[in-house]
């Protein structure tokens, strides 16, 4: 049976995708895929996702040029989550950071931003992100 037919999409036809740097293992982002996004990703080797807010398929990096080359795709034991190991070009985060996980809980219980911004989202997207 083809890999995609074994995946368990939810009632909305979506499956979460955890995206990890293939070389270093850093978690870059979490996104959603529908069957079309998964098929397009598998066929092209470039990460495609489904935007729940825009209700459409999108190629990661279509606006910024910061593409994700997919090096490996895994699924969990229940087959209801994907793990994409990618080669990330520049930042994965629409706020300009390499990873969307640039905030952490500090020792005092507050929020600490400890990521390095790689690009200015205003210049890349032409609007504030």
Read off the pLDDT of residues 83-112 as tens digits, 9 standing for 90 and up.
999 999 999 999 999 999 999 999 999 999
Residue 113 confidence (pLDDT) above 90 = yes
Q: Which domains does the chain have, with CATH numbers?
A: 3-118 (3.10.20.810)
pLDDT digits (tens, 9 = 90+) for 34-51: 999 999 999 999 999 999
pLDDT class for 129, splitting at 50, 70, 90? very low
Specify the pairing of strand 15-21 against strand 27-33: antiparallel
Q: Look over the chain and give the mean of its residue pLDDT values, rounded to a whole number.
A: 96
Across 23-55, b (16+ Cβ under 10 Å) vs e yields: eeeeebbebbbbeebbebbeeeebbbbbeeeee
pLDDT class for 127, splitting at 50, 70, 90? low
Q: Are 90 and 99 in contact (CB under 8 A)?
A: no
3-state secondary structure (DSSP) of residue 126: coil
pLDDT class for 124, splitting at 50, 70, 90? very high
């Amino acid at each position: 049976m083809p890999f995609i037919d074994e995946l368990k999409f939810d009632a909305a036809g979506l499956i979460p995708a955890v995206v990890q740097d293939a070389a270093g293992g850093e978690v870059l982002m979490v996104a959603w895929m529908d069957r079309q996004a998964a098929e397009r990703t598998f066929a092209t080797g470039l990460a495609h996702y489904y935007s729940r807010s825009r209700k459409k398929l999108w190629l990661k990096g279509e606006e910024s040029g910061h593409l994700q080359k997919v090096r490996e795709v895994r699924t969990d034991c229940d087959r209801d989550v994907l793990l994409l190991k990618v080669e990330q070009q520049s930042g994965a985060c629409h706020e300009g950071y390499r990873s969307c996980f640039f905030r952490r809980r500090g020792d005092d219980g507050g929020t600490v931003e400890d990521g390095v911004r790689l690009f200015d989202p205003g210049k890349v997207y032409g609007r504030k992100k």
